[in-house]
Structure 1
Amino acid sequence: MNVRNDIAPPPAPTADRLVEATRELLWERGYTGTSPKAIQQRAGAGQGSMYHHFTGKPDLALAAITRTAEELRALADGLLSGPGTAVERVTAYLRRERDVLRGCPVGRLTQDPEVMADPVLRAPVEQTLGWLRGRLAEVLAEGRANGELPPSVDPSGTAATVVAVLQGGYVLARAAGDTAPFDQAVTGLITLLAPPA
């Protein structure tokens, strides 16, 4: 009996395709520029399917933003909890592969007036950035306790600086149409965290 190995996997469930399409469109166009029709077209789903699974665009956007936020937290935590010293783990997080010119899929939402005006849509954005500052502060506090960082280092303030440099680096790179300003900002920050001996 011949078994075919070239059988395509079954298509993703409609709800999942709708969420993934919304995630992509929010990153590309923002909330205002993401229409229900564009979501349906990108997902290959009809209007009836969309409204069968979600009450409307805000409900679908919340599912998409929440999924993106959860993925970013898991990725960051994996790097920040990985092997190495505290500074090495923060460096691994800063140097991880990113689509710099597209910007941060969570950070970009802070520039979307409709997302920021809606407490429900804003919540996962605010929680994710807050979580990231807190997790970085924990790692930096560990580095200070282990003598990697001087006692004068404020873990919370430094964590906020790390997040600000990343988000600002995305903005500089997008403005220049080049990843070099992002890379320069990250390299400068790493030098401040771990100055040459």
Structure 2
Amino acid sequence: MGTAEDLIECTRELLWERGYVGTSPQAIQQRAGVGQGSMYHHFTGKPGLALAAINRTAEEMRAAAEAQFTAPGPAVERLTRYLRREREALKGCPIGRLSQDPDVMSDATLRRPVVDTLHWLRTRLADLLAEACERGEPRPGLDPVATAAAIVAVLQGSCVLARADGGGEAFAEAVDGVLALLAAYFPSA
């Protein structure tokens, strides 16, 4: 990787671990093994570098989700694979955690990719569920938009529970719970 890539990757890690305030330019430079001149050669400062890191995280999150959503099979199978895929629940969702960071949320530029990504996820899940409804996969009565919002809320909330408990059991239980609720609509699940 080049210096700019190293800086972005190190900033991503630090934002996930420490949040925006805890991610100082010095910490970024130290982790990336570069000097101040290198950082400011590639980025105008911490906000520009943080934006590049947040955008990269958002892109990767979308790509990983989309790989599950577009895989072959019935919608409930794709959704199950998405919900059960490997995650670092104790660290929390790297985008979801930023939504809890007051410094990110108070900066319109840094906030935008966080809001857009969570909105994309809700919309994409709703589209997947609507596709299933059009194919007659679930029993009648499933509301794709409300169900998608509930799924995102469960995923984000279960990360909070896992962090509070210090273990991944709460995350796994929450995923099991949302899948059990979906099974009431998807008889083949």
1:134 aligns with 2:134: no
Aligned residue in 2 for 1:119? 108
CA distances 1:87-132 after superposition (whole Å, capped 9, x unpaired): 1111110000001100000000011000000010000000000000
Amino acid at match of 1:28: E
CA distances 1:41-82 after superposition (whole Å, capped 9, x unpaired): 000110000000000000000000000000000000110110
Return the offset for 1:19: 0.3
Aligned residue in 2 for 1:171? 160
Alignment of 1:46-65 (within 5 A): 46-65=35-54
Amino acid at match of 1:92: R
1:67 aligns with 2:94: no
Return the offset for 1:84: 1.1
Aligned residue in 2 for 1:7? none
- Name the TM-score, length of structure 1 as normaliser: 0.92
What residue ranges of structure 1 are gaps of 5+ in the alignment? 1-11
Q: 2:15 aligns with which of 19, 26, 29?
A: 26
Structural RMSD (CA): 1.0
Q: 1:188 aligns with which of 171, 177, 183?
A: 177
Which runs of 4 or more aligned residues in structure 1 lie more than 3 Å from their structure 2 counterparts after TM superposition? none
- Structure number with greater Rg is 1
Counterparts of 1:68 and 1:54 in 2: how far apart (Å)? 17
- Name the TM-score, length of structure 2 as normaliser: 0.96
What residue ranges of structure 2 are gaps of 5+ in the alignment? none
Aligned residue in 2 for 1:77? 66
Return the offset for 1:185: 0.5
Counterparts of 1:161 and 1:149 in 2: how far apart (Å)? 17
In the alignment of these two chains, the number of paired residues is: 186
Amino acid at match of 2:124: R
Counterparts of 2:61 and 2:148 in 1: how far apart (Å)? 16
Counterparts of 1:171 and 1:155 in 2: how far apart (Å)? 24
1:35 aligns with 2:24: yes
